[in-house]
Chain A
């Protein structure tokens, strides 16, 4: 079942003549992970804001085309320090801020918060003051805060930007678990090497328009690699002048080499 459908959607930011999104048609089903890739300014973050019903409702601008959302969405923005409530003196209270705003009963809030803290491995930090956390810890707190609101559609904008290698691996595992739970996930990321193991589909955006859609194998495509959006293995293979098709992952490269 479709959680999000964009039908020939275009979006203009306030006081701009050219659209940031151009005629985008895309759907994300429950249990599916769709990754948006593209150069800076390609429109991935804008697409997430439209999907989250923040553009144009909150930030202004103009929308053309249709956007249908079946589930409540939650978006994780790239800078965690701007997403704290400013109201909480503990991580637990910070994560509970959103669920409390939904008017849930206290026991349900506690259940969701505890579950989110466990999933993000934040239980040892539950009583810490959020302003004392590192960037990576705070990023995990914000992800937990969004997940505690139990959104059906989860939107991530560069979710691994503040995380170290282990933190990023935990996050990718969690995203797969979210999809397994039936949540629809739409993520914009430049961590291309993670996508073969994480994403079900990859959408290549260029200048606000969809250039190509496919399985993660797309990240080993010659044209995609030429645009600088291939995985590291594909990019190295190409730089080495080795024959096409390019391998997507290290395992693919080893297999090809043999």
Chain B
């Protein structure tokens, strides 16, 4: 299951429920199950696009946790963080921002709010494209992004600074452009291709919400009466 054709709300529900369950369910078994599901979902989007980014982003957290805590705590929190990271990486890879905007607008949300949420998710793709152009430009000026750790760190600095500065510099002009293209408060946007929302997916979303609530009750309410 890659998830790409699921309704955007279903993708959001899965990506939200997994981390919630990871933190609610008892460790380490709960976290193990949710992390396994999260990593499987990330892997379903491909090794380079899903699994590796999830593993590489989660790895430093494990290192810091190990420095700060004992092994059982590291495993408990590490699995939860891994679930969060893997779910987010999968969501970014599976969810098309335009489909999310259409789904939210069709559901009656404000187009500005929908754009804000979708822009956050699409920022990864836009920044990746810009980073590629900056790396090409730096290569033309003789800076190689390959080699040892020192060389890669130098290349990273030469990439990060222009990437951040250019993004900040463009904020004003992008705001003007969006304004002139009709993205203003109070608009009633036409969904271009509202994604179908089958009853089974709606039921699945409610089931996920119910599962989170039941896990919450089992974790915090039931022990008080036993």
> Which size bracket describes the interface of B in this complex?
20 to 34
The answer to whether B181 and A149 have CB atoms under 8 Å apart is: yes
Task: With CB as the reference atom, state the residue of chain B lying closest to A73.
Answer: B180
The answer to whether A100 and B189 have CB atoms under 8 Å apart is: yes
Tell me which of B123, B129, B180 contacts A75 (CB under 8 A): B180
Q: Mark A123-157, 1 if CB is under 8 A from B, else 0.
A: 00000000100000000000001100100000000
Contacts of A82 in B (CB 8 A): 170, 173-174, 177
The answer to whether B181 and A85 have CB atoms under 8 Å apart is: yes
Task: With CB as the reference atom, state the residue of chain A lying closest to B128.
Answer: A131
Task: With CB as the reference atom, state the residue of chain B lying closest to A108.
Answer: B190
Whether, in the assembled complex, B70 has its beta carbon less than 8 Å from a beta carbon of chain A, the answer is: no
Whether, in the assembled complex, A28 has its beta carbon less than 8 Å from a beta carbon of chain B, the answer is: no
In whole angstroms, what is the CA distance A92 to B175 when docked? Answer: 22
Contacts of A96 in B (CB 8 A): 192
Task: With CB as the reference atom, state the residue of chain B lying closest to A57.
Answer: B179
Question: Contacts A77-B177, A79-B173, A93-B98: A87 and B118 contacting too (C-beta < 8 A)?
Answer: yes
The answer to whether B101 and A83 have CB atoms under 8 Å apart is: no
Question: Contacts A86-B119, A87-B101, A103-B188: A98 and B170 contacting too (C-beta < 8 A)?
Answer: no
The answer to whether A58 and B97 have CB atoms under 8 Å apart is: no
**A104 shortest CB reach to chain B, Å:** 6
Tell me which of A58, A81, A146 contacts B175 (CB under 8 A): A58
Whether, in the assembled complex, A105 has its beta carbon less than 8 Å from a beta carbon of chain B, the answer is: yes
Question: Contacts A102-B182, A131-B125, A131-B129: A83 and B177 contacting too (C-beta < 8 A)?
Answer: yes
Count, chain A residues at interface, CB 8 A? 36
The answer to whether B126 and A77 have CB atoms under 8 Å apart is: no
Question: Contacts A101-B182, A103-B187, A105-B190: A87 and B122 contacting too (C-beta < 8 A)?
Answer: yes
**A152 shortest CB reach to chain B, Å:** 14
The answer to whether A54 and B122 have CB atoms under 8 Å apart is: no
Whether, in the assembled complex, B96 has its beta carbon less than 8 Å from a beta carbon of chain A, the answer is: yes
In whole angstroms, what is the CA distance A26 to B181 when docked? Answer: 25
Question: Contacts A82-B174, A86-B126, A109-B190: A98 and B182 contacting too (C-beta < 8 A)?
Answer: yes
Q: Mark B150-187, 1 if CB is under 8 A from A, else 0.
A: 00000000000000000000101111111111111001
Whether, in the assembled complex, B90 has its beta carbon less than 8 Å from a beta carbon of chain A, the answer is: no
The answer to whether A49 and B176 have CB atoms under 8 Å apart is: yes
Tell me which of A54, A87, A100, A131 contacts B180 (CB under 8 A): A54
Question: Contacts A87-B98, A87-B115: A101 and B179 contacting too (C-beta < 8 A)?
Answer: no
Whether, in the assembled complex, B15 has its beta carbon less than 8 Å from a beta carbon of chain A, the answer is: no
